[in-house]
Amino acid sequence: MNEFAAEHPLLVVVLPKVVILLFVLLTALAYLTWFERKVVAHIQARWGPYRVGPHGLLQPLADGVKFLFKEDVTPAGADKFAYFLAPFLALSLAITSIAVIPFGPSGMTIFGQPTPTGITNLNIGLLILFAITAMGVYGVALAGWSSNSKYPLLGGLRSSAQMISYELALTMSVVGVILMAGTFNLSEIVTSQQGFHWGIVPRWNVIGWPMPQILGFLLFGTAAVAETNRAPFDLAEAESELVAGFHTEYASFKFAMFFMAEYASMITVSCLATILFFGGWLSPFPQTPLFAWTHYIPTAAFALAGLALFAHGVRYLTIFGRIVLPVLGVALFALGVLFIFPGVNGFVQGPFWFLLKIAVFLFIYVWVRGTLPRFRYDQLMNFGWKVLLPLSIVNVVITSLAILLTQR
Amino acid sequence: MITPQIAMFLILAAVAVAGALSLILQRHPIHSALSLIVVMVALAGLYLLQGAEFVAAVQIIVYAGAIMVVFIFVIMLLNAGEEERSNVSRLARFVGVPLGVVFLVEVAYWIGRATSHLGGAPQEMVSTRDLSALLFREYVFPFELTSFLILIALLGALVLARREESD
């Protein structure tokens, strides 16, 4: 097997990684819709999806099937080519960007072949991500224009103007991090954040040395929400003004593709925020004998979650739930037990902390959507150009000054 | 002997030329703009093939991303429709087309002569660090001059586009 892998690294190592990541990502996208609906519902004192499966767990599946069987209408007078191109462009670009994200420390080995944890490790990973984000606007703009309808056109116009404005602030806000790390390589940016202040506080960029990037992080977070067209910056699909904005005329699975693209870019942005400002896959605890117990946090988390789910599941309302939930609980518990074994334990540390941090950011995304009212269009433009952009330039100047002073 | 690099070059070059032709031949402005985006992305691929990864990424971010979004934004804002195809005027047919062909042949000839003895593509990527060192040490004066020029053009456009204050 090892010789075969050495001869065909593309077939044996890269292709399976792509397939697995794609599978995980698409499942995550589906359950992110469930997660968002649940969290927003609880913010608004509702229950959210509850009927399809226990706690609505099969709702994404039902939605997917529904999307597939709906009639796919093309509006009269639509520009056919652009109308079909737009959803494909949106989804494929949004998914592509996951390829450069490192999920754990480099140096995974599959069949004797060293390979990065993640699909690829590029020297210009960050730039490629921004390039893909920059192209992402065409999906929205073309969808709005090609539908031959007034509300989508307005949505498309708004979104292209908004994305131009906020992309500047987004790119400028990470320059501070690049200056401190001295590289565009996402893996190296993470490893540059190793170490601890006073042996206990992690030196992640957000509280890093010589210049904590708190301002940079806040600017990045704000611009990123706008860049992904999410509330409170979802002017492109403001349902109270534009019906559904740029995707008003899209039905069936094409609509689902826009939906998936939006969630995929949410995941990408959360990954990026984690990598750039919160130490990526690095554990928040020092790697000293005193903190050796922290290696069993993944085990404890999974096992406790499994137990809780089991205890809750056996008393669930429906019979179906009384079967599914305990089984899920047992599976989680088994995973937790699996994480005790030394080899597995070492491997899951990176991805565990990384995914945990991403989950926090995804929650914040939904939280913000559930609590903040939408901006007005002129407020949005003023905020982008007169507040975010100047502040991000100030951040760059201060950070470079701090680096210059500490290097002397 | 076709190496993967040459194959990639041929594909990207074909895409770029096809995109450029489509840019001229399309009748709808949006389709022309989309063709231009294809050209930009293909060019970025060619830069990458030459080992200039930073230039390739910036090509996509700035040209294919920012600048073309503004193009499309303006076309959408003006709601420009399809263009009428008109017959070629007599002047263009008898003077313009032959002159164009002569110019094309001439340019192709000189480029062919100038690049006939170039080596293959570099084996290593040019690192961003080297590029910036070159840009900010050796060529810092032309670099700053260019940015100053762009700034002046920007201010000029702003002054021209500003509405007269009615007082």
Q: What is the arithmetic mean of pLDDT over A346-365?
A: 87
Quick one: pLDDT at residue B125? Answer: 66
Residue A113 pairs with which residues in a beta bridge? A110
Asked whether residue B96 falls in the same domain as residue B138, the answer is no
- Let me know: does A119 contact A127? Beta carbons within 8 Å: no
Residue of B nearest to A81 (CA): B31
- Let me know: does A260 contact A29? Beta carbons within 8 Å: yes
At B120, the pLDDT band (50, 70, 90 cuts) reads: low
Interfacial B residues in 113-152 facing A (CB < 8 Å): 125, 127-128
Question: Exposure pattern of A26-62 as b/e (b: 16+ CB <10 Å)?
Answer: eebbbebbbbbbbbbbeeeeeebbeeebbbbbbbbee
Residue of B nearest to A130 (CA): B61
> How far away is chain B from the Cα of A353, in angstroms, using its nearest Cα?
30
- Let me know: does A395 contact A215? Beta carbons within 8 Å: yes
Say yes or no to pLDDT of B149 above 90.
yes
Asked whether residue B12 falls in the same domain as residue B43, the answer is yes
Quick one: pLDDT at residue A1? Answer: 60
Instruction: Find chain B residues with C-beta within 8 A of A155's C-beta.
Output: none
At A193, the pLDDT band (50, 70, 90 cuts) reads: confident
> How far away is chain A from the Cα of B116, in angstroms, using its nearest Cα?
32
The crossing angle, in degrees rounded to 10, of helices A15-43 and A252-277 is 100
B65 touches chain A (CB under 8 A): yes
CB contact under 8 A, B61 and A184: no
Instruction: Find chain A residues with C-beta within 8 A of B40's C-beta.
Output: none
Instruction: Find chain A residues with C-beta within 8 A of B34's C-beta.
Output: 82, 142
On average, the pLDDT of chain A sits at 83
Q: What is the arithmetic mean of pLDDT over A67-96?
A: 84
CB contact under 8 A, B37 and A144: no
DSSP annotation of B89 reads P
Asked whether residue B3 falls in the same domain as residue B69, the answer is yes
CB contact under 8 A, A156 and B77: no
Asked whether residue B64 falls in the same domain as residue B112, the answer is no
Q: Distance between CA A245 and CA A52 in Å, rounded? A: 29
Chain centroid to CA A86: 21
B20 touches chain A (CB under 8 A): no
Residue of B nearest to A139 (CA): B69
At B148, the pLDDT band (50, 70, 90 cuts) reads: very high
For chain A, the first-to-last Cα distance in angstroms comes to 54
CB contact under 8 A, A160 and B69: yes
- Let me know: does B69 contact A142? Beta carbons within 8 Å: no
Closest CB to A131 among B31, B61, B76:
B61
Q: Distance between CA A374 and CA A30 in Å, rounded? A: 25
| Chain B interface, best mutation among A138, A140, A381, by max B CB count within 10 A | A138
Asked whether residue B77 falls in the same domain as residue B135, the answer is no
> pTM above the 0.80 mark?
yes
- Let me know: does A360 contact A278? Beta carbons within 8 Å: no
Kindly calculate the radius of gyration of chain A based on its CA atoms and give it in whole angstroms.
23
Q: What is the arithmetic mean of pLDDT over A107-133?
A: 77
From B45, B38, B10, select the one nearest B23 (Cα to Cα): B38
Say yes or no to pLDDT of B153 above 90.
yes
CB contact under 8 A, A127 and B66: no
Asked whether residue B1 falls in the same domain as residue B60, the answer is yes
Quick one: pLDDT at residue A106? Answer: 67
H/E run at residue A369: helix A342-371
User: pLDDT tens for residues B33-72?
Assistant: 889 999 999 998 888 887 788 888 888 888 888 888 888 8
Residue of A nearest to B69 (CA): A160
Asked whether residue B76 falls in the same domain as residue B132, the answer is no
B61 touches chain A (CB under 8 A): yes
Using left for φ > 0, alpha for ψ between -120 and 50, and beta otherwise, residue A104 falls in beta
The label of the residue with tokens 């103007």 reads A161
B72 touches chain A (CB under 8 A): yes
Closest CB to B61 among A81, A130, A160:
A130
User: pLDDT tens for residues A217-232?
Assistant: 889 988 888 888 777 8
- For residues B51 and A38, the model is more confident at A38
B158 touches chain A (CB under 8 A): no
| Chain A interface, best mutation among B28, B36, B76, by max A CB count within 10 A | B76
| Chain B interface, best mutation among A123, A162, A172, by max B CB count within 10 A | A123
Closest CB to A124 among B54, B69, B79:
B54
Asked whether residue B164 falls in the same domain as residue B140, the answer is yes
Q: Which segments of A314-341 does DSSP mark as H helices, in order? A: 319-338
Asked whether residue B112 falls in the same domain as residue B136, the answer is no
At B123, the pLDDT band (50, 70, 90 cuts) reads: low
Instruction: Find chain B residues with C-beta within 8 A of A129's C-beta.
Output: none
- Let me know: does A263 contact A33? Beta carbons within 8 Å: yes
Say yes or no to pLDDT of A100 above 70.
yes
Q: Which segments of B26-162 does DSSP mark as H helices, in order? A: 29-49, 53-58, 68-78, 90-91, 97-114, 128-133, 140-161
CB contact under 8 A, A138 and B57: no
Instruction: Find chain B residues with C-beta within 8 A of A122's C-beta.
Output: 53
Q: What is the CATH number of the domain that holds B45?
A: 1.20.120.1200
Chains A, B: CB contacts within 8 A come to: 72
Asked whether residue B132 falls in the same domain as residue B103, the answer is no
CA angle A124, A125, A127 (to 5 degrees): 65
From A39, A103, A98, select the one nearest A363 (Cα to Cα): A39
B52 touches chain A (CB under 8 A): no
Structural domain including B157 reads: 127-167
Closest CB to A131 among B34, B65, B79:
B65
CB contact under 8 A, A127 and B31: no
Say yes or no to pLDDT of B117 above 80.
no
User: pLDDT tens for residues A248-257?
Assistant: 778 788 888 8
Asked whether residue B103 falls in the same domain as residue B137, the answer is no
CA angle A211, A212, A216 (to 5 degrees): 105
Quick one: pLDDT at residue B14? Answer: 92
Q: What is the arithmetic mean of pLDDT over B111-134?
A: 73
- Let me know: does A246 contact A143? Beta carbons within 8 Å: yes
Q: What is the arithmetic mean of pLDDT over B114-134?
A: 71
H/E run at residue A407: helix A389-407
Instruction: Find chain A residues with C-beta within 8 A of B31's C-beta.
Output: 81-82
H/E run at residue A16: helix A15-43
Asked whether residue B131 falls in the same domain as residue B157, the answer is yes
Q: Does the interface predicted TM-score (ipTM) exceed 0.85?
A: no
What domain count does chain B have?
3
Q: Distance between CA A102 and CA A120 in Å, rounded? A: 8
Q: Tell me the pairing of strands A113-115 and A196-197.
A: unpaired
DSSP annotation of B92 reads I
